[in-house]
Structure 1
């Protein structure tokens, strides 16, 4: 070996060694996002048709059921749509090469203060968005019924299954490919579209942004599930009280009180949204890293 070759090898050894970059995951693509959404919406349609067929065969008229019986009917229909949707989306992810756990369930890193802040933020943003929501057509969703089975479906099954699907599977998959902020936004859009009707879509999208933030900030689906359940408890109580379609301006009783409530809610929303976005931008430096399992 010549002196020139030895010098070249010596120089090469002195150069910093660059570790090979891991290949960028191919899942999920835009098509995968719409495929997962199509699976979830398709299962809602299939479950609805199946329940209608059962009612036809068994001679059951949902309108003739009492509130407790409608609660049982709703709970069965909901689980029959969302549980298979979660399983099929998970199977699709695996088929397409998606990897990793179905969400993270860390107990370290989240606290009641964060949940309380997020809950107040949810209530405030609902007041702020109310004038916009009032412009959208009222939903024609069926009566969910009353009683234990409705509560189990709304307060237990919905938070668990929807958080597993929208935050655990969808947000986690998107995060591995495109980073925190896009995953947070599009998983919230996914969550909104699942609710079908324009008003419910808009409201669920806004709520989904807060739920997604709580999951990203804590690395715990327990936190987003609990917050989701808290929101649904309020919605159920309003429904039972017959106030689901009542606007805050009507509840306030006077325009002066409503203006005070609205301005207060606007301030809470503005400050909370700024804090949320600042945190998301900070997490962007580790955009493609999954939360650590505690």
Structure 2
């Protein structure tokens, strides 16, 4: 083989290698959760600071009162809906500014079997997290009821239950999964790897509920929900699991009140 022929063959091989590398990188870039997110954890925390600032301005961070009355019920519902809308608007504006598609939040259509897995994991969370919570309550004492539980126990009509399930079983899971799993998990994963990324995301999820006695149960729940996102490549199974978990807990409180 003369030098000219060798150079041509080498050039073809180089182009082929470059094409293979580019295809591999494109496949990697298209994977969900994104392997190379263009945003970072600090930007996510800055978004959270903006959200808390707006909530403080509107008085949404104050402890709700009269949750067993209709006035308190409607105030709780309004704040819950407004908070969810605020989170989603801030996130959408952020993604618009960084010119990224919403699919990088994990909002892609899941395979049918992963929808079933989401439902199953919701039941799993109810049982396992409930057992952990009961064990810790026996050791450390029963924590004070959460606001959602109080408003649910004070509800007197079926339509109140339906509205609370819509809030707790649908709207809140979408808000929390998009924010914690969608925003925080990809940069945690990129920086620390899959295992630590799942743990750090779950830890932040538990920490920002501001409930010391429920930290460990929430941490376990966060680990399962983040793992589910990693496993399925879609945020919807995590949303379904979270919503199933919340809905079943709400129904149990309603029945036992």
TM-score range, shorter chain: 0.5 to 0.7
Go from structure 1 to structure 2 and tell me whether the alpha carbon gap of 1:34 and 1:238 turns closer, same or farther (over 3 Å shift).
farther
**Distance in 2, Cα, partners of 1:233 & 1:123:** 13
Mapping of residues 218-237 of structure 1, within 5 Å: 218-237=232-251
1:135 to 136, 140, 143: 140
Secondary structure of the residue aligned to 1:104 is coil
Q: TM-score, normalised by structure 2?
A: 0.67
Deviates more, 1:105-114 or 1:158-167: 105-114
1:221-244 C-alpha deviation (Å, 9 max, x unpaired): 33222221221123324444678x
Q: Which runs of 5+ in 2 are unaligned?
A: 30-34
Using CA pairs under 8 Å that are at least 6 residues apart, name the structure with larger relative contact order, 1 or 2. 2
Q: Which residue of 1 aligns with 2:124?
A: 120
Bigger helix fraction:
2
Q: Which residue of 1 aligns with 2:32?
A: none
Q: Which runs of 5+ in 1 are unaligned?
A: 56-60, 244-294
Q: Does the 8 Å CA contact 1:105/1:222 hold for their aligned counterparts?
A: yes
Mapping of residues 1-294 of structure 1, within 5 Å: 5-6=3-4, 9=7, 12-13=10-11, 17-19=16-18, 20=21, 22=25, 25=36, 27-28=38-39, 32-40=40-48, 42-44=50-52, 46-51=54-59, 63-64=65-66, 66-96=68-98, 98-99=100-101, 101=103, 102=105, 103-112=107-116, 115-116=119-120, 119-128=123-132, 130-132=134-136, 134-135=139-140, 138-139=143-144, 141-142=146-147, 143-145=150-152, 146=155, 147-148=160-161, 149-172=163-186, 180-240=194-254
Q: CA deviation at 1:85?
A: 1.9
Q: Does the 8 Å CA contact 1:98/1:173 hold for their aligned counterparts?
A: no
Please identify the structure whose Cα radius of gyration is greater. Answer: 1
Q: TM-score, normalised by structure 1?
A: 0.60
RMSD in angstroms over aligned alpha carbons?
4.0
Aligned length: 232
Go from structure 1 to structure 2 and tell me whether the alpha carbon gap of 1:33 and 1:233 turns closer, same or farther (over 3 Å shift).
same
Go from structure 1 to structure 2 and tell me whether the alpha carbon gap of 1:65 and 1:140 turns closer, same or farther (over 3 Å shift).
closer
Q: Does the 8 Å CA contact 1:109/1:218 hold for their aligned counterparts?
A: no
1:184-205 C-alpha deviation (Å, 9 max, x unpaired): 3333233223312223443322
**Distance in 2, Cα, partners of 1:14 & 1:153:** 59
Q: Does the 8 Å CA contact 1:139/1:199 hold for their aligned counterparts?
A: no
